[in-house]
Structure 1
Amino acid sequence: MDGATVQQETAETPRAEGPPHDDTAAAQNLATGSARTTALTTLRRVFGYDTFRGEQQAVIDHVVSGGDAVVLMPTGGGKSLCYQIPALVRPGTGVVVSPLIALMQDQVDALRALGVRAGFINSTQDFEDRRLVEAEFVAGELDVLYLAPERLRMQGTLDLLSRGKVSVFAIDEAHCVAQWGHDFRPDYLALAVLGERWPDVPRIALTATATRATHREITERLGMPEARHFEASFDRPNIQYRIVGKDDPKKQLLRFLREEHEGDAGIVYCLSRNSVEKTAEFLERNGIAAVPYHAGLDAATRARHQARFLREEGLVVVATIAFGMGIDKPDVRFVAHLDLPKSVEGYYQETGRAGRDGLPSTAWMAYGLQDVVQQRKLIQSGEGDEAFRRRAASHLDAMLALCETVACRRSQLLAYFGQEASGDHCGNCDTCLTPPETWDGTVAAQKVLSTVVRLKRERGQKFGTGQIVDILLGRKTAKVIQFDHDQLSVFGIGEELSEAEWRSVVRQLLAQGLASVEGEYGTLVLTDASATVLGREREVLMRKEPKRPAGRAKAERPAKGDRKPPVDLSEEALPLFEALRTWRAEQSREQGVPAYVIFHDATLREIATTVPTDLSQLAQIPGLGEKKLANYGEAVLRVLAEIPPPTTPSATTSSPSSGD
């Protein structure tokens, strides 16, 4: 993907000071069928892109003409433009329903930087600020208004919307309406009132990830039976998916960061608050700038850490899944998981926060047997009825299948969402780059299951994986001797495999549904399918555990100067790029907004590569709309004039396409 395309994929930011809409002119445009031309003109003028990408044009045409839409589009795929353009083209104010109260200020700042008149109403405002935004809405002086879903349960908010003119209702993060989804928000269940009270105002529901079942639930619960459905490809080709076996995961993470992402911004997900705190402390002790984020921190600390992540370059956030939804930061270079996600939906949503700018990024996970045991226990002991537990177990099974697959991970990920990959090999996941070896694990599986059987039949006992492995390896531990397990016929029959290999066997049995865990202590038990293995009716194919690297005993910091320049950026353009980044950082500090609100990295890369010499040339850079050109054009040209240009600059920019 080229730099221009990359930049437009991230226009999750749109406009704010400018004259109010001419409602009469807009209505005439619609009536004369020039809506598409108006949308393209707005795209160029405000966002700085010449063409729409993928399904954007079809979605925008449909909504501008007054139709309802349900849009499934991956993070970085251009969802925001699908409602921002209709809000700017149709008469009135686009009302965006979003659960992301903590991010509304940044979203509005980003829109205003583009010249879009934007505002928000939520609980963080004082009375006077809220009254001012309300007055602007009623007077028709806003293009976009953000509201939290709980505001729409208040009669006062509904009355306010009735006093102004609404151009479109956009329901962002629409998967929050799915009652058993990974981000369920009960306030979303009341949003069907929008269609009932404003039947002539088009609605657009958007989400970055949803199965077909969740897709249907969104449509039903929001009362949008006539909505047209749009589904973009969920493929994120710039993200490299990698899953490794756990072996001191914090040290594995440190090595991954130092060897591949030194100085990069990223997110590390952990299952528990305690793990979040310890991992953040570990990274800090080892010279990686990191902050924790979880629901146990007070609101002020969470807000401060989130603001640092958005505004600083190279910061790592270690978080529970409480962090990340709606984060617009385009230059997140990696997302790492130190614990197994509960579902493929959650995994896709979380990994999708990497590489919003379309540049190469990594989704890395360390995964082990204890993850499986822990997740099974959480399901069995959690809230919800039996149907909910079955659903949660099926989600976990799909996640395990993704972890244990010997096929292309991207193909399996896309297949989960009902989509086909372009081929059997993506060339950018670990199983494609280094195809795993497989082996016939039938006998090993039988040994594990036979041990479980003998413990139950001969001793009336159940034990966890650790005791099973000790028995198979013939270890006379205190517990083995205490329970006379060295007298079992299976004692010592598994010395051909190492402890790590036996744990891999158990993990893969769990993933294939040939064994299960139960109870508070995660004891290993048989399933209905176990009999087919014990009865020699089924062959069990397994992944071979990769050999542990014989490299450094600890993750060493790369030598100074060893870091590679940004991907696809020539050595000649690098000084210009760094000078532009320094200038952008100064602007960011002065204005108190994230650096990407000024310009995304992809825009700076394009400028550094093409080296425009005047405003007319600069205006051809994708992502430079009229407002940003007016605000920053001369300053950018001054920065370029102070640094010697690259010896062989690129003569042309690449073809743009619009973004998120």
Structure 2
Amino acid sequence: MSSPALETLQRVFGYSAFRGHQQAIVEHLAAGHDALVLMPTGAGKSLCYQVPALLREGTGIVVSPLIALMQDQVDALRQLGVRAAFLNSSLAADEAAQVEQALLRGDLDLLYVAPERLLTGRFLSLLDRSRIALFAIDEAHCVSAWGHDFRREYLELALLHERWPDVPRIALTATADPPTQREIAERLNLVEAQKFVSSFDRPNIRYTVVQKDNARHQLRDMLRKHKGEAGIVYCLSRKRVEQFADYLAEQGFNALPYHAGLDAEVRAHHQRRFLREDGIVMVATIAFGMGIDKPDVRFVAHVDLPKSMEGYYQETGRAGRDGEAAEAWLCYGLGDVVLLKQMIEQSEAGEDRKRLERRKLDQLLGYCESTQCRRQVLLAGFGEVYPHDCGNCDNCMSPAETWDATEAAQKALSCVYRSGQRFGVNHVIDVLRGSESERIRQCGHDHLTTYGIGKDLDATTWRSVFRQLVACGLLEVEAEFGSLRLTEGSRAVLRGERRLQLRKEQRERRERDRSPRSGVAVEAADLPRFQALRDLRAQLAREQNVPAYVIFHDSTLRTIAEQQPATLDDLARVGGIGGAKLARYGERVLEALGAVG
């Protein structure tokens, strides 16, 4: 016998079964209990509160930090026949008043609201006069003062339990290492809540790290595999965003910039284009992305090193939300480390926060230079053990060769020491390779015992050595000028007490031409039907001024193209087509299929 939760899932959302912990979470919340949910992007977190909100009496109140996310979620729910609305600054006063009246009348199943508005006296009073089914706190990691997306308003959301102790609450996030998980529970008064932790693994994402050597050309070459596909390119600064967006546009990509320095209307316009058009490449700072619900992002590229493993995981998680093949590509160099350390030291944060930021950066450096399966290293940062090689990262698909670099490391460390630990990597490499530059002579470094002892290795190999010595904690990069300093750990290497195996530089590993399958894989025989369905979807989206993916995902269109349903009953058996969509679009879908033959 079907449970009420499963019946709602099938009738409204068009899915025959829950995934993972979804059913347990839904039934736990529907029964009136609190929950803390950690689930990767694309695993269906939204269903965990949307279904209980439909099962319980009253309106589900969803706290969401971004306007774009609210709009997308509401558009998608209305397509399913769910009575949903949002309240944020994008609404005119009369529109907001209509939503408030609908809430008071009990005419809403779900209401999305920004934390700033929820905490106002006016809105709290409105809730006092309403029937509340549940509170859902999305992007719950924003409560962490140590996190990369901290929102001060989230600290005050504990009042929901104090003011409405009998209303169940669910806090959800896709990005939280164990310390952040504890902080979420403590700050939101959810210590007693049942915790549901899914694997953080995103098996459809391929992870690749390359060493920076003309990042523009490297990015261009990578994007050629994704021509015509949607993706995000992250840069560390606004200036870099503008430069890369202009360069990609010159190279024929449909690229748009996005950063906090742009006019708000321009940012909003670019975001709308990214969400509603196919094949847009958004070049952005981390100001862009949180809450972006676009399922068909086929790649996320970083042309600069992110600040932490958490940030990297969350940003790469915006690729492949539909479960189809996607790529996470990171290009970094030692210069990125210098810049990020400067940013940490120049910030106004206290010493404890700076120490934490340095540790997070070191953790990410270790990931970049590791010869181990990327997925194993990444998931270990979230307290999860991945028991085998993933087969879907650069280290698994083209294992890095290693070499006994003990002697090279001794030369490098000795040269840093003998040149006074006051110079950056390029200068030290010039000394090692016996450069005859004016600066070397001015400093008298052509008379050092380490001058010219590294001529057997080229500059690229030496840069790799120094990068890995920093990642191993044998060298430190001084923040202000980028000069190198020995650490306590370097003594054992210099004394010959420790051997050192380092990754061998491979001049951009080719992965033996095994580039990732990208996008939705459709059999050749089904392509005409698939394209006809995409054309219909685009037409429907234009008619309603909504993103195409809120009507049907590509994976749903692929299934329709493969199964070729001849009747509405046949179509109803396709996953992702609930009752409302069947009634609204069923006949037109069948007509589109019939026209192809």
Question: TM-score range with shorter-chain normalisation?
Answer: over 0.9
3-state SS, counterpart of residue 95 of structure 1: strand
Equivalent residue runs for 1:13-412 within 5 Å: 37-258=3-224, 260-412=225-377
Please list the CA deviations of residues 305-332 of structure 1 after superposition, one character each: whole Å capped at 9, or x if unmatched. 0000000001100000011111111100
* 2:551 matched residue in structure 1: 598
Moved more, 312-321 or 526-535: 526-535
User: Matched residues in 2 for 1:455 and 1:217: separation?
Assistant: 45
Which of the numbers 493, 504, 522 marks the counterpart of 1:569? Answer: 522
| Equivalent residue in structure 1 for 2:488, among 528, 544, 568 | 528
SS in 1 for 2:419: helix
The separation in 1 between residues aligned to 2:351 and 2:35, in whole angstroms, is: 34
Deviation at residue 422 of structure 1 after TM alignment: 3.9
Query: Offset at 1:234?
Result: 0.7
The one of 632, 636, 645 equivalent to 2:589 is 636
User: Which residue identity does 1:436 align to in structure 2?
Assistant: A
Calculate the TM-score normalised by the size of structure 1. 0.88
Q: Measure how far apart 1:383 and its partner are.
A: 2.2
Q: What is the aligned-residue RMSD (CA, Å)?
A: 1.5
Counterpart selection for 2:394 from 430, 437, 441: 430
| 1:488 alignment partner, one of 437, 441, 448 | 448
CA contact (8 A) 2:37 2:196 kept: yes
CA contact (8 A) 1:372 1:507 kept: no
Could you tell me how far apart the structure 2 residues matched to 1:568 and 1:373 are?
41
Matched with 2:434 is: 474
- Distance in 1 (CA, whole Å) between partners of 2:50 and 2:476 is 48
CA contact (8 A) 1:565 1:571 kept: no
Distance 1:75 1:366, change over 3 A: same
| Partner Cα separation in structure 1 for residue 361 and residue 71 of structure 2 | 36
Shift of 1:547: 3.4
> Counterparts of 1:564 and 1:214 in 2: how far apart (Å)?
34
Amino acid at match of 2:113: L
Provide structure 2 residue ranges, at least 5 long, that are not aligned to the other structure: none
Aligned length: 593
C-alpha separation in 1, matches of 2:3 and 2:494: 68
Give 1:564 deviation, angstroms.
Answer: 8.8
Report if aligned partners of 1:63, 1:69 keep a CA contact under 8 Å in 2: yes
Three-state SS of the structure 2 residue aligned to 1:191 is helix
State the identity as a percent: 57
- Whichever residue aligns with residue 165 of structure 2, its letter is P
Could you tell me which amino acid in structure 1 is paired with residue 416 of structure 2?
A: V
Deviation at 1:548, TM superposition (A): 5.2
Residue of structure 1 equivalent to 2:570: 617
Q: Distance in 1 between matches of 2:90 and 2:97?
A: 13
Say if 1:118 and 1:143, in contact at 8 Å, map to a contact too: yes
Q: Deviations over 1:447-475 (max 9, x none)?
A: 1111121122xxxx611111000000000
Instruction: Tell me the alpha carbon deviations over residues 570-628 of structure 1, each in whole angstroms, 9 at most, x when there is no partner.
Output: 10000110111111111111110000011100000000011000100000000000000
CA offsets 1:113-171 (integer angstroms, 9 cap, x no match): 11110011112212111110000001000000011011122111110001101101000
User: Which one scores higher on RCO, CA 8 angstroms, separation ≥ 6?
Assistant: 1
Structure-2 separation of matches of 1:399 and 1:300: 35
- Distance, in Å, in 2 between the alignment partners of 1:548 and 1:241 is 14
TM-score (norm 2): 0.97
Find the partner of 2:471 among 511, 522, 543.
Answer: 511
Asked if the contact 2:232/2:281 (under 8 Å) is kept, the reply is yes
1:238–1:564 CA distance, 2 compared to 1 (3 A) = closer
Counterparts of 2:60 and 2:509 in 1: how far apart (Å)? 55
Contact 2:326 2:519 in 1 (8 A): no
- Partners of 1:359 and 1:403 lie apart in 2 by 25
Deviation at 1:286, TM superposition (A): 0.7
Question: Matches of 1:478 and 1:102 in 2, distance apart?
Answer: 55
